[in-house]
Amino acid sequence: MRCPDKGSAPVRRRRRASKSVVAAAVCGLLSASLAACGSDRARSDSAPGPVVIGVSAAQTGYLSSVDLGYIAGLRLAVQEINAAGGAGGRRLEISGVSDEQSNPVVGVQNVNKLVNADSVDAILAGGDSTACSAARPVVTRNQLPMVCVAPPPTGSAYQFEVSSSVGKMVETIMAYVKHLEVKSVAFLATTSVYGQLIGTLVKAAVQADGISISSTTTVSATATDMTATMQQVAASHPGAVVDSIVGPGHILEAKGAEAAGLDVPVIQMSDTLQTFEQAAAAYPRTEFVVQAPQAYPLIPDTALRQADQTFLTAYQASHGDSALVTSAAYGWDAVHILAEAVARSGSATGPKVQAELNSLSWQGAVSSYRYSTKDHTGQNATANPNSIGSYSGDKLHITFQG
């Protein structure tokens, strides 16, 4: 998954053995359900009309901290693109926003409805990685482009990621861990597809760098207290803590670290600046991945900095000093990328739009994207846009550039 926030500009302020099996089973059941319901739809450009976009994102539950901003950003981008004449002359229309409720079962039900009842031309999906993975069969069957905040499953032909990729975020964290010269890390895992991908990348990175993992602990997305968890982490005597958590769990993690008497960096995966500030207030050694819209204007790359200036000018004029600026940038980038593919293809039909997406380069507000048939994150061959930050009171400091 992935992240919102407090503002940008002035830089202020189960069991481990079974988690992969459980997640795979959930994805398998949901995928089977979608595949059974999916229908093959014929599409045509014989009567060009608006590009109908379906949206499935969490408006309630723990992922709403990401997806509410995503929805706001994509709506703003649609408004801007239509005011400028549309995508290659085609007006963009949002058919409606379906609440995923931070529940992958609901998420895939939404996708099924968007495909079969609403007959959308493309889907924009939020940060639920399990729902994104489970939707693969139906969007592939119907040749329907789907742009997700969450990382798409490897090899999925019609799903594309828009956010800072998991690979880049883990790269940033592990470069910082190496910079700190710590000898071991504790890893807080989650059972989502997103969490498992982070775990795989972290384990590969520590092995390559000769760092040991002192403990791996699985955290529930619905946890309400992490004191016992962080006591277990403290007992393993790590040099730093790394997680795959998103949302309120980051605050619980920080409170648990303070209660457990930890005195090492707790390095958190991408989230909102509001969440990070609360976490740092609870545990001062909290550090975290900072994405470009959060770091602006302290962005070394000129093109990325200019893209963020354009986005932030539009967003702040529309929404003011919003807590959701980073995830809003996901929505902004998603719509612009989809619109550019439609404009270049001169079509709203799935295979033509997909063909353009497979070779599309785009300077977004979150990252530079360079998609290919082998890279639907669009970021394997682009510069790392992230940094590591910390809070002192209400002031954000960039402590390490990824």
Per-residue pLDDT band for 47 (boundaries 50, 70, 90) equals low
Distance CA 129, CA 229 (A): 24
User: What does the pLDDT read at residue 45?
Assistant: 59
Q: Which pLDDT value is given to residue 246?
A: 86
What letter represents residue 347's amino acid? S
Q: What is the pLDDT of residue 379?
A: 96
* Per-residue pLDDT tens digits for 366-376: 999 999 999 99
| pLDDT category of residue 321 using cuts at 50, 70 and 90 | low
Flag whether pLDDT at 1 surpasses 90: no
Where does residue 127 rank: exposed (0-12), middle (13-18), buried (19+ CB within 10 A)?
buried
For 241-284, the pLDDT digits (tens) are 999 998 899 999 999 999 999 999 999 999 989 999 999 999 99
389 vs 402: CA distance, rounded Å: 11
pLDDT of residue 46: 52
Tell me what percent of the residues of the chain surpass a pLDDT of 70: 88
Residue 117: Cβ within 10 Å count = 10
> Regarding beta strands 146-148 and 159-161, do their DSSP bridges make them parallel or antiparallel, or are they unpaired?
parallel
Q: What is the mean pLDDT of residues 180-194?
A: 93
Q: With a cut of 90, say whether residue 17 has pLDDT above it.
A: no
Note whether 16-40+47-164+304-370 and 166-295+386-401 share their fold. yes
CA atoms within 13 A on the CB side of 323: 13
Cis (ω within 30 of 0) for the bond into 152? Answer: no
Q: Is the pLDDT of residue 25 over 90?
A: no
- What are the structural domain ranges in the chain? 16-40+47-164+304-370, 166-295+386-401
User: Tens of pLDDT along 201-257?
Assistant: 999 999 999 999 999 999 988 899 999 999 999 999 999 999 999 889 999 999 999
- Give me the pLDDT at residue 36, please: 44
pLDDT score of 149: 94
291 pLDDT more than 70: yes
pTM to 2 decimals?
0.85
Per-position DSSP letters for 57-113, written without gaps between them: E-SSSTTHHHHHHHHHHHHHHHHHHHHTT-BTTBPEEEEEEEE-TT-HHHHHHHHHH
Can you tell me the mean pLDDT for 44-61? 85
Least confident of 29-33, 79-83, 237-241: 29-33
Res 135: pLDDT: 95
Q: How many other C-beta atoms lie within 10 A of the C-beta of residue 20?
A: 13
The yes-or-no verdict on residue 400 having pLDDT over 90 is yes
**Who has greater pLDDT, 158 or 17?**
158
| Candidates 3.90.79.10, 3.40.50.1820, 3.40.50.2300, 3.20.20.10; CATH matching 16-40+47-164+304-370 | 3.40.50.2300
* Domain 166-295+386-401 falls under CATH 3.40.50.2300: yes
Query: Is the dihedral angle over the CA atoms 318, 111, 125, 194 positive or is it negative?
Result: positive
In this structure, of 35-39, 116-120, 305-309, the range with the lowest mean pLDDT score is 35-39
List pLDDT tens digits, range 141-184. 999 999 999 888 889 999 999 999 999 999 999 999 999 999 99
Between the CA of residue 145 and those of 122, 160, 239, 284, what are the distances in Å? 5, 8, 43, 43
Across all residues in the chain, what is the average pLDDT? 89
